Amino acid sequence: MEWEDLARELSQQTDSKIVLLVMDGVGGLPADGRSELEAARKPNLDGLARAGVCGLADPVMMGITPGSGPAHLALFGYEPLKYRLGRGILEALGLGVEVGRNDLVARGNFATVKGGLVTDRRAGRIPTEENVRICDDLNARLPKREGVEVRVFPGKEHRFVARFTAEGLSDALSDADPQKEGKPPLLTTPQAPEAGKASAVVNRFLDDVAEVLKGEAKANAALLRGFSKFPSIPTMQELFKVRPAAVANYPMYKGLAKLLGMEVIGAGGETSDLFDALEKNWAKHDFFYVHYKKTDSSGEDGNFGAKVAAIEALDPFLPRLIALKPDVLVVTSDHSTPSSLKGHSWHPNPFLLISPTAGVDDVAVFTERACAKGMLGRFRAISVMPLMLAHALKLQKYGA
Amino acid sequence: MEWEDLARELSQQTDSKIVLLVMDGVGGLPADGRSELEAARKPNLDGLARAGVCGLADPVMMGITPGSGPAHLALFGYEPLKYRLGRGILEALGLGVEVGRNDLVARGNFATVKGGLVTDRRAGRIPTEENVRICDDLNARLPKREGVEVRVFPGKEHRFVARFTAEGLSDALSDADPQKEGKPPLLTTPQAPEAGKASAVVNRFLDDVAEVLKGEAKANAALLRGFSKFPSIPTMQELFKVRPAAVANYPMYKGLAKLLGMEVIGAGGETSDLFDALEKNWAKHDFFYVHYKKTDSSGEDGNFGAKVAAIEALDPFLPRLIALKPDVLVVTSDHSTPSSLKGHSWHPNPFLLISPTAGVDDVAVFTERACAKGMLGRFRAISVMPLMLAHALKLQKYGA
């Protein structure tokens, strides 16, 4: 019997409310002796650490660096080693693209190819409006191919999603992306015997795109990665009997939330928008996932100071969250993004939980090192959802 | 390969002795800043914490509140997510009721029904002697039904066990208990296609009971819950090559111990009786499970002061335990029972282990917060048995 089965059996609907605030990538590493969390002035966040219990959560398992998909799945109570989501499906759902059983989707970049080599993997980050024009152009002019329907959907700047609709398309495909500039564009290759058809369909599409866009100055080729089909995954309603909502403003997180059955409450790009949206929708849901992106993007940029500033920028909004009086409040991250590594890492997430049934430990500040001494100890992030549900009294007793 | 397979392969019989003292439900939550363990004066227990290593043990997994069955199974080295025991079987075994392959058992309450509604789910907690008389009456006067044998066994006050003997009785039955007063008595319903026969047998019994007892002032109906059959579970002798004994005085714990192959050493209701029984039987066994109930029952009553007193009442007896010089001594609980929650909870169990091979950590008192800083860290209770066996040098090396 696994956690998922336990959850179906033991979860019960109640009026208690849970807030999971994800400070994306907030965990970091010391530079000049202090991590981003240690360097930031964040009196409210530290106050929360003093009001509850803390610990460190490994997203997947010790040593494993997760993508945003598995890192979030774990936080939402889905075993990340069981469910694997392609980046393409997340991006597609985030853009509002409908995806069905016969659809294969991928994340795309428009790129610049000159003399047979990729000279710019992002086509000079063309403006989004130009992307829209190019996608309209492709959808109108791409040659029709027997038994296959293809559509492209513009994202921000140079990003798009490609959707291939046909019987029997497998997503066992390698990325069609050389990853580095100065190399020729790459075709996809099948990674399983049944992916031959999908491989042929995708590679013909890449040729067709190059033909249609050959007159473009910048966006004259397409790179594709993260091929994926719609996964079979139970909703949070089914598993946990919650009425979940996601307050987020980046496509991928909205996409993931939608996939799991959350109502997606779009929020503007300002930090205050997250809290406005949370307050406005407080009555309608009992589980709120709030996603704060800036801590991750500054970490990815390798900008220690900007990451410190992102932590400090969120801090003044926390009293608005506390004023809502959630029965359970968790603040953590999906994965760490140390600025020194300029990317996701395998380090555990600092974690705090506040609830009338949680007690209080000795942790006085919200940092990696302080959380390591917290009462919750070190645990896999798959335990975050059972902990939140338990403290919200949403889990019945197991066995007699 | 699971722990159970490892145990069969690696365990060895030795003369070393293990004592596992279970202070049932001892873990709690702060009220006015201090938990029950923090408020209690318990110099001997704190001395034990200083003499060994400590940690926090999650009974099943983080967030899961266990019944007594799964919580104890985990302590005894049985994966609680693999083995599930019905409450009926535990209660039956505790009362000394023989249960065989064709038996279906359930826990019963005598109840009062008036005007078609359950007015008292415990029939005014009738005295045990009256219960005995009523059970005798039922066993003599219940109408014989073709192919089915039914017997009831009195427990304490209003509690009894019903045993149904017939071919093909499934235990996939809902509880025949409305759980609340002011509702009509409930029949059982089959929870699987193969449970139709059992359902019919049980519901006819409930009708028969009401007919036989219609003249009773208080106990004029029966409620049944926790339908269960004899489970298939290996003994502790088979798995761990120990000669185990249980010193306990509550039916359910004695029943569970018997099921796992322990010799049950009944003890009187006084705390001293537990230690008398332990001393008297010291030579005959190498594994002793000692069960102290009062910490749980006071917690269930929501009586913080009584729980503190229960901890303080046990403390003076601990020197008798130490005088026996067990090679491994563990003190922990099966699950937490915070008085503020008036019931079992998901919080981890404070845990201490003393052995010449264990070393000593910095923990100076036996409390939830102090144990959280212990050297053993936070772990699932299924690790308790391997730890005890290892420190008793009862486990051989794994692999070459």
Tokens, residue A151 = 């559509």
User: Residues 6 or more apart from B157 whose CB is under 8 A from it?
Assistant: B122, B125, B126, B127, B128, B131
- Report the pLDDT value the prediction gives residue B160, as an integer from 0 to 100: 96
For chain A, what is the mean pLDDT? 95
Residues 91-110 of B with CB under 8 A from A: none
B328 with B194, same domain?
no
One-letter amino acid of A17: K
pTM above 0.90, yes or no: no
B114 with B176, same domain?
yes
Q: What is the ipTM of this complex?
A: 0.85
Residue A342: inside a domain, yes or no?
A: yes
Rounded CA gap, B179 and B65, in Å?
19
pLDDT band of residue A292 (cuts 50, 70, 90) is very high
Of A3, A390, A399, the CB nearest to B70: A399
B312 with B165, same domain?
no
Q: Does pLDDT of A249 surpass 80?
A: yes
Of A3, A359, A399, the CB nearest to B67: A399
A71 with A180, same domain?
no
Among candidate residues A228, A256, A290, the one where a domain is terminated: A228
With contact defined as beta carbons under 8 Å apart, do B185 and B223 qualify? yes
With contact defined as beta carbons under 8 Å apart, do B16 and B90 qualify? no
- Report the pLDDT value the prediction gives residue A85, as an integer from 0 to 100: 85
- Report the pLDDT value the prediction gives residue A255, as an integer from 0 to 100: 85
Residue A68: inside a domain, yes or no?
A: yes
Angstroms from B86 CA to nearest CA on chain A: 6
CB contact under 8 A, A385 and B70: no
CB atoms within 10 A of CB A87: 20
Rounded CA gap, B176 and A272, in Å?
53
- Report the pLDDT value the prediction gives residue B241, as an integer from 0 to 100: 98
Q: What is the pLDDT of residues B263-313, one digit of tens each?
A: 999 888 899 999 999 999 999 999 999 999 999 999 999 999 999 999 999
Element (H, E) at A319: helix A318-323
- Report the pLDDT value the prediction gives residue A200, as an integer from 0 to 100: 96
A117 with A133, same domain?
yes
Determine the structural domain holding residue B324 and report its residue range. Answer: 3-85+233-391
pLDDT band of residue A86 (cuts 50, 70, 90) is confident
Residue A327: inside a domain, yes or no?
A: yes
Among candidate residues A228, A251, A285, the one where a domain is terminated: A228
Rounded CA gap, B30 and A295, in Å?
34
Cα–Cα distances (Å) from B386 to A383, B85, B334, B393, in that order, read: 23, 22, 16, 10
What SS3 class is residue A230?
coil
Q: Does A360 touch chain B (CB under 8 A)?
A: yes
- Report the pLDDT value the prediction gives residue A104, as an integer from 0 to 100: 96
Phi–psi pair at B161, nearest 5 degrees = -120, 135
A330 with A365, same domain?
yes
- Report the pLDDT value the prediction gives residue A87, as an integer from 0 to 100: 79
- Report the pLDDT value the prediction gives residue B87, as an integer from 0 to 100: 78
- Report the pLDDT value the prediction gives residue A215, as an integer from 0 to 100: 94
Rounded CA gap, A389 and A7, in Å?
9
With contact defined as beta carbons under 8 Å apart, do A210 and A113 qualify? yes
B150 with B255, same domain?
no
Give the alpha-carbon dihedral of A106, A107, A112, A114, to 10 degrees.
Answer: -40
CATH of the domain at B185: 3.30.70
B300 with B192, same domain?
no
pLDDT band of residue A389 (cuts 50, 70, 90) is very high
Taking residues A87-91, what's their average pLDDT? 84
Burial of B184 per CB tally in 10 Å (0-12, 13-18, 19+): exposed
A295 with A351, same domain?
yes
Among candidate residues A212, A228, A244, the one where a domain is terminated: A228
By CA distance, what is B60's nearest residue in A?
A398
Q: Which residues of B291-318 are buried (b: 16+ CB within 10 A; e: fewer)?
A: bbbbbbbbbbeebbebbbbbbebbbebb
Number of domains in chain A: 2
CATH of the domain at A256: 3.40.720.10
Q: Does B65 touch chain A (CB under 8 A)?
A: yes
Residue B238: inside a domain, yes or no?
A: yes
Residue ranges, chain B, pLDDT below 50: none
Q: Does pLDDT of A399 surpass 90?
A: no
CB contact under 8 A, A385 and B338: no
Q: Does A3 touch chain B (CB under 8 A)?
A: yes
Rounded CA gap, B29 and A151, in Å?
57
- Chain B residues lying within 8 Å of A6, measured CB to CB: 61, 64, 81
Tokens, residue A399 = 């066995």
CB contact under 8 A, A375 and B62: no
B276 with B377, same domain?
yes
Q: Does A383 touch chain B (CB under 8 A)?
A: yes
- Chain B residues lying within 8 Å of A389, measured CB to CB: 63
Taking residues A297-309, what's their average pLDDT? 96
Rounded CA gap, A394 and A388, in Å?
9
Query: Which of A299, A293, A314, A335 is CA-nearest to residue A46?
Result: A314
Rounded CA gap, B273 and B283, in Å?
17
Q: Which residues of A359-390 are buried (b: 16+ CB within 10 A; e: fewer)?
A: bbbebebbbbebbebbbbbbbbbbbbbbbbbb
Q: What is the pLDDT of residues A152-194, one digit of tens each?
A: 999 989 999 999 999 999 999 999 999 999 999 999 999 999 9
Rounded CA gap, B53 and B360, in Å?
5
A252 with A368, same domain?
yes
Residue B183: inside a domain, yes or no?
A: yes
B193 with B288, same domain?
no
Q: Does pLDDT of A60 surpass 80?
A: yes
Q: Does pLDDT of A135 surpass 90?
A: yes
Q: What is the pLDDT of residues B240-277, one digit of tens each?
A: 999 999 999 888 898 889 889 999 998 888 999 999 99
